[in-house]
């Protein structure tokens, strides 16, 4: 599943914080990610990504969860029940805007097919979207239930392929080709180490706002803009093994915009910026009913996790562009890859990387 494309750290970008082994959401033990990528003919550039919070073997065990919408011009189905119950009870799928309902329903079919209980006699799967219609024939409805179930079946731990894969296949960020991004951080709290990972389907931003390590890179690379305006959305999924309550996970989700701001965005009216955080801790509590006992961190102890969210968000967004290639799609539209040589030249000019 892993692709050997170069990432920002390998280019010499000095991201803050210590990543896990894979520098991905899968550094949180148990989290599995699967993708199906659809690239056909001249105009199909789409797909679906599936995230299993506890992996297939424990897909029936809920997780504590919380969400936050920074700007609501988008969709993440299933959040009403998470807001009410404080639990994520299903896998997560992410795809294009026109296929969000398809992957939501397919998740239910997959749960029934595999005899996986959701903790109740009905299910409200989480399904999210961003718009890929600049490169993809979005109204052709090419993502099917079979594709979504295949992504769920394909889900694995380990290193992730980033860029134009899965639901991120047709996505664009700061008018450069983008898509799936992921990063992780290791956080020590009171002598105990925890992992936090983030996954983004990145599809937002205006070229002139694009910022790398505090440098206005976008203003120096203005050629070949496809959108030429602020457009799109971003979905972010945060996973951690730190024991947190639902309201604390909502607080983590609220920190995603701080990481996005480091890359330059203002959070435009047209953007659907919706975020979900879950914890894989306290499995014993969610595996049974009745009276539950659970560990959780004090609010005063979670600043390190806040910092991890901000740092990992920034890195994941940038890697969604760095791990990418130019794509030609619908109507001959071209989304260029971020010119890495030009970016690095600009960063050297501003003394952000060594010669």
Q: How many Cβ atoms are within 10 Å of 292's Cβ, its own excluded?
A: 11
The neighbouring-strand residues paired with 32 are 52
Based on the residue annotation, tell me whether 268 is a catalytic residue of this protein: no
- To which residue do tokens 């020590």 refer? 188
Tell me the DSSP string of 213-268: TTB-GGGG--SS-SS-S---EEEEEEEE-S---HHHHHHHHTTHHHHHHHTT----
- Name the active-site residue from 182, 195, 271, 279: 271
202 is catalytic: no
Distance CA 95, CA 134 (A): 15
Catalytic pick among 134, 175, 273, 319: 273
Is the distance from CB of 98 to CB of 141 less than 8 angstroms?
yes
Long-range contacts from 11-15, C-beta under 8 angstroms, 24+ separation:
11/322, 11/340, 11/344, 11/353, 12/344, 12/353, 12/354, 13/212, 13/213, 13/318, 13/347, 13/353, 14/213, 14/352, 14/353, 15/183, 15/311, 15/314, 15/315
Q: Is 153 among the residues known to form the active site?
A: no
What are residue 276's DSSP bridge partners? 67, 237
- Which of 67, 99, 182, 233 is catalytic? The answer is 233
C-alpha–C-alpha distance, residues 320 and 297, integer Å: 31
Measured in residues, the chain has a length of 355
Q: Supply the residues annotated as catalytic.
A: 233, 271, 273
């Amino acid at each position: 599943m892993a692709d050997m494309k170069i990432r920002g750290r390998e280019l010499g970008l000095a991201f803050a914080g210590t990543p896990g082994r894979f520098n991905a959401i899968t550094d949180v033990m148990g989290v599995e990610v699967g993708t199906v990528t659809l690239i056909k003919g001249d105009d199909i550039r789409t797909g679906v990504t599936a995230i299993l919070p506890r992996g297939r073997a424990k897909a029936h065990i809920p997780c504590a969860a919380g969400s936050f919408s920074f700007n609501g011009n988008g969709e993440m189905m299933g959040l009403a029940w998470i807001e009410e119950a404080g639990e994520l009870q299903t896998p997560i799928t992410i795809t294009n805007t026109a296929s969000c309902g398809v992957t939501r329903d397919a998740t239910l079919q997959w749960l029934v097919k595999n005899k996986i209980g959701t903790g109740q006699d009905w299910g409200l799967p989480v399904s999210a979207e961003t718009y890929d219609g600049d490169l993809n024939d979005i109204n052709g409805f090419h993502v099917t239930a079979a594709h979504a179930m295949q992504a769920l079946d394909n889900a694995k731990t380990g290193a992730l392929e980033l860029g134009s894969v899965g639901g991120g296949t047709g996505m664009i960020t700061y008018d450069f080709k983008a898509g799936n991004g992921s990063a992780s951080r290791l956080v020590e709290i009171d002598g105990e180490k925890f992992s936090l990972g983030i996954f983004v389907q990145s599809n937002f931003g205006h070229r002139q706002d694009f910022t790398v390590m505090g440098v206005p890179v976008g203003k120096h690379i203005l050629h070949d803009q496809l959108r030429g305006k602020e457009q799109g959305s971003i979905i972010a999924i945060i996973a951690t093994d730190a024991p947190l309550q639902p309201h604390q996970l909502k607080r983590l989700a609220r920190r995603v915009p701080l990481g996005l701001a480091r890359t330059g965005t203002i959070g435009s009216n047209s953007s659907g910026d919706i975020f979900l955080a879950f914890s894989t801790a306290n499995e014993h509590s969610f595996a049974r009913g009745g009276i539950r006992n659970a560990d959780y961190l004090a609010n005063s102890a979670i600043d390190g996790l806040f910092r991890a969210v901000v740092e990992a968000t920034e890195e994941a967004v940038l890697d969604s562009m760095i791990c990418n290639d130019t794509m030609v799609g619908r109507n001959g539209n071209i989304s260029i890859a971020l010119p890495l040589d030009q970016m690095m030249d600009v960063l050297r000019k501003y003394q952000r990387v060594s010669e």
